[in-house]
Structure 1
Amino acid sequence: MLVPVPEHFRAPVGDQASKLASKIGIEVRTQLPDLSICRWNKVHDADKKPMIQRLEDQFDLQGNPSDVARTLNTQFGRRLSSFTYRLHKQYKQLKDARGEEYARSHPPTSVTLNQWTSLIDKKWNSKEFMEQSLTNVNNRMQMKTKHRCGSKSIPVRVHSSIIANGEVPDLAKFYKSIHYNSNTHEWISSESQANYDNMIKTQAEHLSQTGVIPLSQEELSVKVLKPRSGYVKGLGLRPSSSMKTTVVPAENSDYVQRLEMQIAQQNEQIARFQKSEKKQSKKIQSIIECLTQKGITGNFENGESSDSDEQAS
């Protein structure tokens, strides 16, 4: 299964990206012996390598090798964090309802007793974990504009739009598509609606000036959603590893324009490749038909021929 990892996203995109994330989750839940490890980069290579190899056997991860490696590490880390977070919630619920001893001796079916007690002793009861957990809770409480992308991440959605339209999607329209529920006709939050309205207003005010061109999507992101180093907020875009670009104020920023030029060049290369492949396919088919007319038969697709073929040759 093909999963591209473009340098301007440094994240898995395409139709199979969600399957890759799902498979990584299965690997973490079923193959990682010690779940108490705080971070993926602390997992022993002896445990990592077989898991990564199984992924590479099933998925064709196309992209810069360093970007692919970074993407896999990020995905494994997120799946590990997500899984242990759910387990911790179950532990707290059992502990509150039945007591600590009961919770300790009754692990969920998804983990062994050794894994369960290791999580309790080595991770959840540690001072470092408790402090970090409190910090994470406070950070989550301050998040006011969560999106509703589901299993299709922002990079996947933006990449699909680029493939379909040949350009980066309009920031305001895309932002609304992942922050507004068209079924209930409600925004995820009042802050999300305010951001959208500000995007429309900012672009309109800019275009009201004489002789100006529309703000690029990156420029609009910087003005409304504020700059973030190496990342275009709202679109999931990242500069390539060769450019090392940091998002800067609008008057100095041309990253998205360069990205659109790269996309156009890639589309041209793909079109030329498809045209060449089509010609080659027709040529092979013509040769097969010619050989068939001369009485040379066989399984050409598998590279096999009959006795009559060998005699003819």
Structure 2
Amino acid sequence: MSADVARGHGGDCGGGGDPPRWNSNRIPTSCETSKQKNKRGPSKGKNLEAVWKANGNRPLPVLFDKSFEGTYYGLGDNGTKMNTLLGSLVRTLVPPYYLSWDEVPVEVKAPIIPRVETFFDIGRNTHDWERINVGLDRYCARRYADNKWKLHDYFKKQGGRNNVARARRNPPSRLTLETWNQLIDVFLNQKWQDRSNKNSDNRKKQRFSSFHGTRSYINTRFKKMNPETKQIQGAIENWHDNHFKENRGWANEQARLAYEQLVVEKQIQSQHATSSSANGFVVNEGAIFSKVFGDRRGHNIGLGRKLKRPSGLPCSSNTSTPSSYETMKQMIQGAQEASDRHHE
């Protein structure tokens, strides 16, 4: 399967630590993620400033996934750097006390796209822009939810609903007391509690264990692109690699059985093509995954997210962008340091 991507066109468009303190006027300048139990090596995000300078201080091109229904997830080194910057901006520019990302006011989200465009060409003037923007919005929603759950874990450790008074007296060092109490009000909201319980139940129902952690399926496939043919790894082969290790075997029995079903369906599809003498036949892995796993709202198992929402991030050309080099350097530094501690 060749790389099916959307791209910009040259940059001519405009845990151990506490959870982050929110300040709407502050640009990310330091690592603002909780510690990971397992440390990893130096992140490629460390080179963001160097890469940006080497590109003449012009926006870096980003590839976006268009395979199957299109996740429009940022791919490759530049995509990873962009995702890291997005996460850093969400953590520092958006207060955590909204019930969900979709309820964050437009004016609060407005600075995100212009600041990302300082460093990355995200295809504003391409025909894919609407879908790209929705993909960026959904990535921000994921990061916003992840940050809120970390804060919720901190809330529970400080007493949670069993000792709300104690929790209110002990805000994380990076949140103001006012912001912390507004967030606690959200945690005590019945709608939040119902959603929390539902998500907990859904996690218990997950059938497939895996070894790929928080990395997206499409990025693990993209990283295994054939350098000569420019073909990214097939989704079925990727399922095998993400759920099987030579020294550990299958992540669980369900993952093994699913892989066997995928292989069988691929063989059936190929046999039908042979019997009908179809020319130029290409295996439709999207159809195979849909048949094996069924359809799910918002997500294709083994392939990634679905983009159904019509709206994306606000991107008015009237929104001001940071212009001074020092301001941009601070933004890059924040993305670099967050990348070193947060696995995107």
| TM-score, scaled to structure 2 | 0.60
Query: For residue 143 of structure 1, what is the aligned residue in structure 2?
Result: 206
The structure richer in helix per residue is 1
Q: 1:78 aligns with which of 142, 145, 150?
A: 142
The 5 A counterparts of 1:37-48 are: 37-48=98-109
* CA spacing shift, 1:91–1:169, aligned 2, 3 Å: same
Query: For residue 284 of structure 1, what is the aligned residue in structure 2?
Result: none
Task: Give the letter for the 2:197 counterpart.
Answer: L
What secondary structure is seen at the aligned counterpart in 1 of 2:131?
helix
Answering whether residue 64 of structure 2 is matched by residue 2 of structure 1, we say no
- Counterpart contact for 1:225–1:233, Cα < 8 Å: yes
| TM-score, scaled to structure 1 | 0.65
Question: Displacement, 1:231?
Answer: 7.0
**Which ranges of structure 1 fall in alignment gaps of 5 or more residues?**
242-313
Alpha-carbon distance between aligned partners in 2 of 1:209 and 1:44, rounded to the nearest angstrom: 51
CA RMSD of aligned residues (A): 3.2
Question: Displacement, 1:172?
Answer: 2.9
Superposed CA deviations along residues 1-27 of structure 1, whole A, max 9, x for unmatched, are: 322224442222222222222212211
Superposed CA deviations along residues 9-63 of structure 1, whole A, max 9, x for unmatched, are: 222222222222221221122222x311122232223221223221111111135
* CA spacing shift, 1:239–1:7, aligned 2, 3 Å: farther
Q: 2:132 aligns with which of 41, 46, 68?
A: 68
Alpha-carbon distance between aligned partners in 2 of 1:207 and 1:113, rounded to the nearest angstrom: 62
Q: Matched residue pairs, number?
A: 238
Alpha-carbon distance between aligned partners in 2 of 1:101 and 1:78, rounded to the nearest angstrom: 30
Query: For residue 93 of structure 1, what is the aligned residue in structure 2?
Result: 157
- Counterpart contact for 1:7–1:240, Cα < 8 Å: no
* CA spacing shift, 1:132–1:72, aligned 2, 3 Å: same
* CA spacing shift, 1:208–1:54, aligned 2, 3 Å: closer
**Which ranges of structure 2 fall in alignment gaps of 5 or more residues?**
1-59, 276-280, 310-344
Question: Displacement, 1:83?
Answer: 0.2
Query: For residue 220 of structure 1, what is the aligned residue in structure 2?
Result: 288
Superposed CA deviations along residues 104-127 of structure 1, whole A, max 9, x for unmatched, are: 111122322222111111x11011
* CA spacing shift, 1:67–1:146, aligned 2, 3 Å: farther
Query: For residue 124 of structure 1, what is the aligned residue in structure 2?
Result: 187
Q: Which has the higher contact order (CA 8 A, sep 6+)?
A: 2
Superposed CA deviations along residues 114-161 of structure 1, whole A, max 9, x for unmatched, are: 22111111x110111111111111111111214433454222233445
Mark the structure with the bigger radius of gyration.
1
Q: 1:176 aligns with which of 226, 237, 240?
A: 240
What secondary structure is seen at the aligned counterpart in 1 of 2:208?
coil
Question: Displacement, 1:216?
Answer: 3.2
Question: Displacement, 1:70?
Answer: 0.6
- Counterpart contact for 2:221–2:232, Cα < 8 Å: yes
Superposed CA deviations along residues 61-87 of structure 1, whole A, max 9, x for unmatched, are: 135221122122111111110001011
Give the % identical residues: 21
Task: Give the letter for the 1:135 counterpart.
Answer: K
Query: For residue 50 of structure 1, what is the aligned residue in structure 2?
Result: 111
Alpha-carbon distance between aligned partners in 1 of 2:202 and 2:257, rounded to the nearest angstrom: 21
Question: Displacement, 1:169?
Answer: 3.3
The 5 A counterparts of 1:223-302 are: 223-227=291-295, 233-236=301-304
